[in-house]
Chain A
Amino acid sequence: MLEIPVIRWGQPYESMEKDKIVHFETGEAVATVDNANAGLIKMDMRKQGKARDILRQFSIDQLCDMAEKAADLYQNATLPLGNGTQSPAEFCRMQSATTGLPEHMCAGNMKKNAYVLRNMRHTLEALTRGLPLEILTKGYGMESRGVMVSYQAQTNVLGMVLPSNSPGVHTLWMPVIPLQIGLVLKPGPQEPWTPYRMYEAFAQAGVPREVFCVYPGGPECGAAVLETCNRAMIFGGIPTVERYHGNPRVQAHGPGFSKILFGDDMVDQWEKYIDLMAESVFANSGRSCISCSGIWASRHTEEIAEALAKRLGPVAPLPMSDPKSPLAAFTVPGAAKAVNAQIEELVKAPGVTEVSAKYRNGDRHVAHERYDFLRPTVIHCSSTEPAIANTEYMFPFVSVVKCEQKDMLSKIGGTLVASCLTKDEKWSQQLLGATNIDRLNIGEVKTIQLHWMQPHEGNIIDFLFRARAFQNTQPPSH
């Protein structure tokens, strides 16, 4: 049995408390994971300054080289893990076994993480808008245009309270080590795989182990990470996002409510965009905050819903190891049943029709003894009023909503990714000004197609560093 220890500034620590993580289909233990306790984390974090000191012994450029090496190791090498080793194929199998994500999707996420690591230099260049990177190391410096700039790190470490259900989120913390900030990871209970593999890949690529902590454990461990790291990210539902709203130390990532918005100028050509819509809804089994959960248009919404339902409705679960396996499993007991019941209730509202049911040839909810699936669901809403018009679930689910273009921006609510199909200049300007949209795509871009050189839910540079005044000569007289 694989035994995975706590990592305390690079040192393995065997805890008295261990969790078994199990195969979601069989219940068979895949590994035991040692659990940290909150006090231990608080004790360790008293030494967090050392992590940044160690990392600043390397240039950011050197660390980007190491990230590139780490990308290859992460993607291709058999790496040590606890008391054993793990090949890339084993990584995908284990991640699938404990999270319910099909193996080929695990491999897809792996490729995405490796891509971000491999292109770290370009990513940092983009996120810093071309800032000479030694300014981040030194704290100040002269730009080529002759302007003194100063960036002050706001923390020595970044704490990450990670989820179990979405291996895609790991790209968010990849730039942290190259930015000379230590990493404190609290893995999701079912997904220790990426944090440990990434830690090992960085270490084998030459990053000192002493800049990493990995703390599996209960909610009190997450709370301790958030309390002791001056900058931290957490993933959760709306209550989590609301709890940390306005807290400059914590970036809370929740549901995305990502959408495709049709402009009146292009909606009559909707048939051209069926692939774009279907893939935005369906990719990664709809499990991501960037998965499309709403398609809004002023007309043709019935036809759009019908076409999507015809495409997605028949999709049924396949074994996790099948390279075409389309759906992730729900592994938390009762979760799928509760979601299904909620949808059944919400579709009773006036103006709401489930369009996919007739194409499904069976129930939405496919229950097994230890796990469940929810099959793709396409809803039509004849107005923006029903609650189901703007919701999001962890499976391929979309509401096609009839809404006048002029009303869309005031009705869509907070939207992480809006892919807007329009060439209307005036509306494009309004879209650019809409502060309720985080990532804006104007053009034929799927909601799930992220360019890694763009900031995601805020620029991590701005989160970790503060631009401030610095002078070492007198200013010109005035």
Chain B
Amino acid sequence: MSDTALAAKLAKAKELLDEHTRQTVRWHFNDETGCPFWLEKKREFKFDPLKEVNSFDDLKKFPNFEDEWLRGGPIRRWVPKGLADKPVYVFETGGTTGIPKSRMVIEDHWIDYENFSDTLPDEYFPRGSNWLMLGPSGPRRLRLAVEHLAQHRGGICFCVDLDPRWVVKLLKKGDISGVKAYADHVIDQAVTILSAGHDIKCAFATPKLLEALALKLMDKGSSIEESGIKGIFAGGTEFTPQWYRFCREELLGPNVYITPTYGNTLMGLACGKPFDPADNFKITYYAPQPRAVIETVEFEDYNQVVPYGSTGRVKLYTMTKELFVPGFMERDEGEREKPHDKYPWDGISGTRPFHEFAATTTVGVY
């Protein structure tokens, strides 16, 4: 694509983002449609969001979103009045110790995964085929989201549960054999489902569980490919370039497609740039704009985006009718990447735990 054509796409995407920002702010700060939390917060601001937020850049007028606001109730304070009559889900993150962060959701998880569905190649994720969801369910949104993805694509989702809070507890106790036994318990269930004639062709798995499943199948003289799986998506900071290469070259083989994703309960799902040998397994993510935006910002100034190729902390924005997050500092860092033809806005690569937290964070437990 020529520079001019890409520039035009960028401009159009920026225009769309600005318009989406205006609409979202009007919705959340309108007394008739906004949620109690933001309507109350509005009184503390020294600016009027309804008049003074006219573009995405104007979101910098808001203070950074504090994740502590999500801990504890009442959860209803997050439900926009404009959606008050809808059935509400609550999803949680964290929670190994103390009160978890809660996010109320109505349909966002469906919309996010429907949008993500559009990025999946039908060749490897055949429509109508069944799925395996190998990851946490419980209070997390993942199970319901992946299940919806399968249903949206005409399939049925088989789920195997994993409780990451229990795994973290075992790790903190140093109970390595307990972790191994639990992982075996999870993988055994997945192997059983794959052997039960359910015509499963697609899967979501966390990197660790996928690795364990693939090795277990090999021990049994089989493989992911032989089990019938053609396409997999997996996510998290453990999906590193080295792991990506290891998957393609050794763990899965050339006939199984795997694509990385990056996301969380607040943001939704960022897609990986399609595989290109020229990238040498570099993984670049693009947020599902305009519903969510990722910025890579200076460590010392969270309102300042770093230059392309430079390292910064991940800042997330969520702008849906259900949730408004004007700048949340994620616990990850990475490098700012240039826009891509398919995603004409900034991306991020090399995501990894934020260096100041890395020593104390337990990552990739599942």
Asked if A37 and B240 sit within 8 Å, CB to CB, the answer is yes
Assess whether A223 is in contact with B245, with CB atoms less than 8 Å apart: no
> Which of A38-46, A294-302, A313-321 has 4 or more CB atoms under 8 Å from chain B?
A38-46
Within 8 A of B (CB), among A90-108: none
Taking the closest CB of chain A, its distance from the CB of B353, in whole angstroms, is: 12
| Interface SS majority for chain A | helix
Q: Which of A39, A46, A223, A242 contacts B246 (CB 8 A)?
A: A39
B224-267 at interface with A (beta carbon < 8 Å): 240-246, 250-251
- Tell whether, in the assembled complex, residue A37 and residue B180 are in contact, meaning their CB atoms are under 8 Å apart: no
Which B residues touch A476, using CB under 8 A?
none
Q: What is the CA–CA distance of A17 and B215 in the complex, to the nearest angstrom?
A: 22
**Which residues of B does A touch, CB under 8 Å?**
174, 176-177, 180, 211, 215, 218-219, 240-246, 250-251, 280-281
Take A16-B241, A16-B245 as given contacts and tell me if A39 and B251 are in contact as well, using a CB distance cutoff of 8 Å.
Answer: yes
Closest CB in chain B relative to A34 CB, distance in Å: 9
Asked whether A447 is an interface residue with its Cβ less than 8 Å from the other chain, the reply is no
Cβ-defined contact, A37 with B242, below 8 A: yes
The residue in chain B whose Cβ has the minimal distance to the Cβ of A228 is: B215
- B244 proximity list for chain A (CB < 8 A): 16
Q: Which residue of B lies closest to A43 (CB)?
A: B250
Please measure, in the bound complex, the distance between the C-alpha atom of A15 and the C-alpha atom of B219, giving whole angstroms. 25
In angstroms, Cα B251 to Cα A46, docked, is 13
Known A-B contacts: A43-B246, A43-B250, A223-B176. Give 20 more (CB < 8 A).
A15-B242, A16-B240, A16-B242, A16-B245, A16-B281, A35-B242, A37-B240, A37-B243, A37-B246, A38-B211, A39-B211, A39-B215, A39-B251, A40-B250, A42-B211, A43-B251, A46-B218, A46-B219, A227-B176, A227-B180
Cα distance A247–B174 in the bound complex, in angstroms: 13
Is A243 located at the chain interface by the 8 A CB criterion? yes
Min CB distance, A7 to chain B, in Å?
Answer: 16
Q: Contacts of B211 on A, CB cut-off 8 Å?
A: 38-39, 42
Minimum CB–CB distance from B260 to chain A (whole Å) comes to 13
**Inter-chain contact A40/B246, CB cutoff 8 Å:** yes
**A239 located at the interface, meaning its Cβ lies under 8 Å from any Cβ of chain B in the complex:** yes
- Residues of chain A within 8 A of B215, CB atoms compared: 39, 42-43, 46
Q: Which of B176, B242, B245 has the most CB of A within 10 A?
A: B242
Contacts of A35 in B (CB 8 A): 242
Contact (Cβ within 8 A) B174 A239: yes
Which residues on the B side are within 8 Å of A17 (C-beta)?
Answer: 240-242
Interface residues of A in 1-56 (CB under 8 A from B): 15-17, 35, 37-40, 42-43, 46
Interface of chain A residues 447 through 476 with chain B (CB within 8 A): none
- Rounded to whole Å, the gap between the CB of B280 and the closest CB of chain A is 7
- B362 → chain A, closest Cβ, in Å? 11
CA distance in complex: A43, B253 (Å): 13
| Docked CA distance A38–B250 (Å) | 13
Q: What's the least CB distance linking B305 to chain A, in Å?
A: 26
Query: In the complex, are the beta carbons of A16 and B280 less than 8 A apart?
Result: yes
State the Cβ distance, B48 to closest chain A Cβ, in Å.
48
What are the residues of chain B within 8 A of A247 when measuring CB–CB? Answer: 177
**A to B CB contacts below 8 Å, 25 in the list:** A15-B242, A16-B240, A16-B241, A16-B242, A16-B244, A16-B280, A17-B242, A35-B242, A37-B240, A37-B243, A37-B246, A39-B211, A39-B251, A40-B250, A42-B211, A43-B246, A43-B250, A43-B251, A46-B219, A226-B176, A227-B176, A227-B180, A239-B174, A243-B174, A243-B176
List of A residues within 8 angstroms of B241 by Cβ? 16-17
CA distance A104 to B218 in the complex (A): 49
In this complex, the member of A42, A46, A223, A226 whose beta carbon has the largest number of chain B beta carbons within 10 angstroms is A42
Nearest Cβ on chain A to B169's Cβ, whole angstroms: 15
Kindly state the separation between the CA atoms of A243 and B240 in the bound complex, as whole angstroms.
29
Report the minimum CB–CB distance from A178 to chain B (whole Å).
31
* B298 → A minimal CB distance (Å): 23
CA distance A85 to B360 in the complex (A): 38
- CB-CB contacts of A234-246 with B at 8 A, as 1s and 0s? 0000010011000
Q: How far is the CA of A406 from the CA of B329 in the complex (A)?
A: 62
B residues less than 8 Å from A243 (CB atoms): 174, 176
